[in-house]
Amino acid sequence: MEEILTICGDIDTLRKMVEDLPPKRFTPIASKKGGAIVKKIANREMRFAIVHKTLADGDSLNLRQELKATFPDIKILLLGTTQKDAYSDAVLRYPVPGPVLRNAISGLYPVASKGDDLAQWRAFNRELDSIVSAFKTQSYYQILGLQNTAPHHALVNIYDQLSARYHPDRYATIAGSKWGDVIIGKVTSLYQLIVEAYSVLSVRRSRKQYDDELKKGNIRMIESVLDDGPVSLFTTAKNPQSRKFLKLAQADLAKKNWSAALQNLRFAQSMEDNALVDEKIAEIEKKIK
């Protein structure tokens, strides 16, 4: 699903804006403030935004100016007014019934034709091939696009940006078709490498160990950070897709990201019977409770 920026200063109105979006078309990025939101999403492909005239930190004009400067092709639907300006592509008095908002969205930002959609997926498939091929010989720093001296906050920021684009969950809607499953498989492999790099570099001790290994020419050392959960967990999988999700789960366990680990384990569990996976799920569920 495509990401959409939805911003309004009133939380109830913002919630209604999100609820009224066309189903299964958008993944909303919601905020009450305009503030630093553009900086946070600058590396994403933002093509559409729904912005209320009034934000928690003032009028939305500055935000819309910044959006247009950062994303030249973005379409902006301005709510809460009937006065269109140079930084809005359409306006709508709000609140209105859900169908009215959805019609306004369709008029301003129609669904791409099937031909256009397939062309975009083909381009994305080529992008994945190129990146995965390059990653095979790159260090963890290179995978994340960082210098060896990069501070921790830079690591976190780039990981968030990469996750927003390449997390397998983002492409769940194309599963089931032959080409969709191919793309999901490639995106999963790519994301595994991104998680692997982050898992090692985000912990001071393992980052120091990795720097030492890198000097020896070793570019991989994921086993050293899989302290939470057996290293052999993913090797017990017989299904290739299950194995990929188990690798993601192990990386999540290393970061103590229990909810993400549980989700990936359940994905693996749905693909085949595995007693070790069942035990790990029960263990995490108990920990969360």
The answer to which of 42-46, 75-79, 116-120, 284-288 has the lowest mean pLDDT is 116-120
Q: What is the pLDDT of residues 7-40, one digit of tens each?
A: 999 999 999 999 988 887 888 889 998 888 888 8
Q: Which helix (H) or strand (E) holds 213?
A: helix 204-215
The residue assigned the tokens 């935004």 is: 49
CA-to-CA distance for 137 and 120, rounded, in angstroms? 27
- Structural domain including 210 reads 137-288
- Examine the domain organization and report whether 193 and 53 are in the same domain: no
- Examine the domain organization and report whether 103 and 175 are in the same domain: no
What is the pLDDT at residue 225?
A: 31
**Is residue 250 within 8 Å of 233, Cβ to Cβ?**
yes
- Examine the domain organization and report whether 171 and 247 are in the same domain: yes
| pTM more than 0.95 | no
Please report whether residue 118 resides in a domain: no
Last residue of some domain: 62, 92, 108? 108
- Examine the domain organization and report whether 155 and 275 are in the same domain: yes
Please report whether residue 119 resides in a domain: no
CA-to-CA distance for 128 and 132, rounded, in angstroms? 6
What is the pLDDT at residue 144?
A: 93
What is the pLDDT at residue 223?
A: 42
- Please report, for the domain that includes residue 92, its CATH number: 3.40.50.2300
Last residue of some domain: 70, 91, 108? 108
Q: How confident is the model at residue 172 (pLDDT cuts 50, 70, 90)?
A: low
Q: Does 45 have pLDDT greater than 70?
A: yes
**Mean pLDDT throughout 241-257?**
74
**Is residue 288 within 8 Å of 262, Cβ to Cβ?**
yes
Last residue of some domain: 108, 123, 151? 108
CA Rg, the chain, in Å?
Answer: 21
Please report whether residue 122 resides in a domain: no
Please report whether residue 113 resides in a domain: no
Nearest to 152 by CA among 208, 191, 203, 192: 203
Pairing outcome for strands 58-59 and 54-55? antiparallel
Structurally, how many domains does the chain consist of? 2
Please report whether residue 145 resides in a domain: yes
Q: Does 92 have pLDDT greater than 80?
A: yes
Q: Does 141 have pLDDT greater than 90?
A: yes
Tokens, residue 257: 């990201």
Q: Does 116 have pLDDT greater than 60?
A: no
Query: Which alpha helices (H) appear in 59-97, and where do they start and end?
Result: 61-70
What is the pLDDT at residue 254?
A: 62
**Is residue 45 within 8 Å of 3, Cβ to Cβ?**
yes
What is the pLDDT at residue 7?
A: 93
Q: Does 51 have pLDDT greater than 90?
A: yes
- Examine the domain organization and report whether 164 and 48 are in the same domain: no
Please report whether residue 131 resides in a domain: no
Please report whether residue 179 resides in a domain: yes
- Examine the domain organization and report whether 29 and 155 are in the same domain: no
- Examine the domain organization and report whether 153 and 280 are in the same domain: yes
What is the pLDDT at residue 226?
A: 29
**Is residue 78 within 8 Å of 67, Cβ to Cβ?**
no
* C-alpha distance from residue 76 to each of 31, 49, 206, 247 (Å): 15, 5, 44, 40
Q: What is the pLDDT of residues 267-288, one digit of tens each?
A: 888 888 887 788 888 888 887 7
- Examine the domain organization and report whether 169 and 282 are in the same domain: yes
What is the pLDDT at residue 79?
A: 94
- Examine the domain organization and report whether 12 and 68 are in the same domain: yes
Please report whether residue 120 resides in a domain: no
- Please report, for the domain that includes residue 227, its CATH number: 1.10.287.110
- Examine the domain organization and report whether 85 and 144 are in the same domain: no
- Examine the domain organization and report whether 90 and 143 are in the same domain: no
CA-to-CA distance for 138 and 148, rounded, in angstroms? 13
- Examine the domain organization and report whether 93 and 141 are in the same domain: no
CA-to-CA distance for 190 and 193, rounded, in angstroms? 5
Tokens, residue 53: 């005239």
Backbone φ/ψ region at 142: left (φ over 0), alpha (ψ -120 to 50), beta: alpha
Enumerate the β-bridge partners of residue 48. 75
Q: Is the peptide bond before 72 cis (omega within 30 degrees of 0)?
A: no
What is the pLDDT at residue 233?
A: 58
